[in-house]
Amino acid sequence: GTGFWPLEGCSEEQPLPKLWKDPSCVDVVMSNWKKTAAIAKSQGYKYLTTPLVAENLDYAANFVEKACAECQDISCGCPQYVGFHFYAYDCQPVKEGSYDTFQSRMNAVKDLMEKHSFIKGAIVNEVGMLNCAGENDNPICVPNSGKYPAKNDPKHQCPSNDELPNGLATFVEKIMEMVAQTKTQDGRSVVKAFSWFNENMAGGTYNLRLFDDDGKINEVGEAYIKGCTSWGESQKKMVQLQV
């Protein structure tokens, strides 16, 4: 990230979740946001996302409430999508509660969609696995600090274990199933875009690449293709039912 910076009109550095407790600062942030939105609109963009968040979906919900008070589209800076990213820990998505965390974040967007008809869904722009112990044991991710350090695996990936029989491929399959299954009460898909973090041990992750060094699709890549294909087919069926 870019860190925290002073902003004229705000008593503390931004961005911070407690922004919403400082009305004067909120006005400053929203004024700047509207200027950014106007630039995007002038370049032909039709939709905005909320500022991207790692875990605090309440921040995004508060942002929607404030930014969309005057209208419900880009003309006044109203975001119609919620952007967030998600990482599991230490090749143990069950033990570390990562699957539950991901579901809770999708549910938070679902609640927003059901409260505000103009919210179209979530854009999950980064998904992957961090090579460190979970947040409860290790608030700051220190690479190779968990039970399954990447340095011990020949490919620097998740090894086969009880939770992930096929390593990262199992994780991808499960996450994509959750994406496809999460819908609003009236049947709308919550997730509208999903991007795997296709990098090799960048930012404290495992080797998350979808291709091996020789350029061939690996097991993780095959699982990603399978999951995306299945998700796409479910989307087509939904559109057909609506027609």
pLDDT in tens, 107-128: 999 999 999 999 999 999 999 9
If residue 63 lies in a helix (H) or strand (E), which one and from where to where? helix 57-67
Contacts 24+ apart (CB under 8 A), 139-147: 141/204, 142/204, 143/201, 143/204, 146/89, 146/90, 146/91, 146/92, 147/90, 147/91, 147/92
pLDDT in tens, 141-185: 999 999 999 999 999 999 999 999 999 999 999 999 999 999 999
Whole-number percent of the chain with pLDDT over 70: 96
pLDDT confidence tier of residue 190, bands split at 50, 70 and 90: very high
Q: Residue 199 contacts by C-beta under 8 Å, 6 or more apart in sequence?
A: 128, 205, 208, 209
Eight-state DSSP code of residue 150: G
- Looking at residue 239, its pLDDT comes to 66
- Looking at residue 106, its pLDDT comes to 98
Rounded distance between C-alpha atoms, residue 206 and residue 199, angstroms: 8
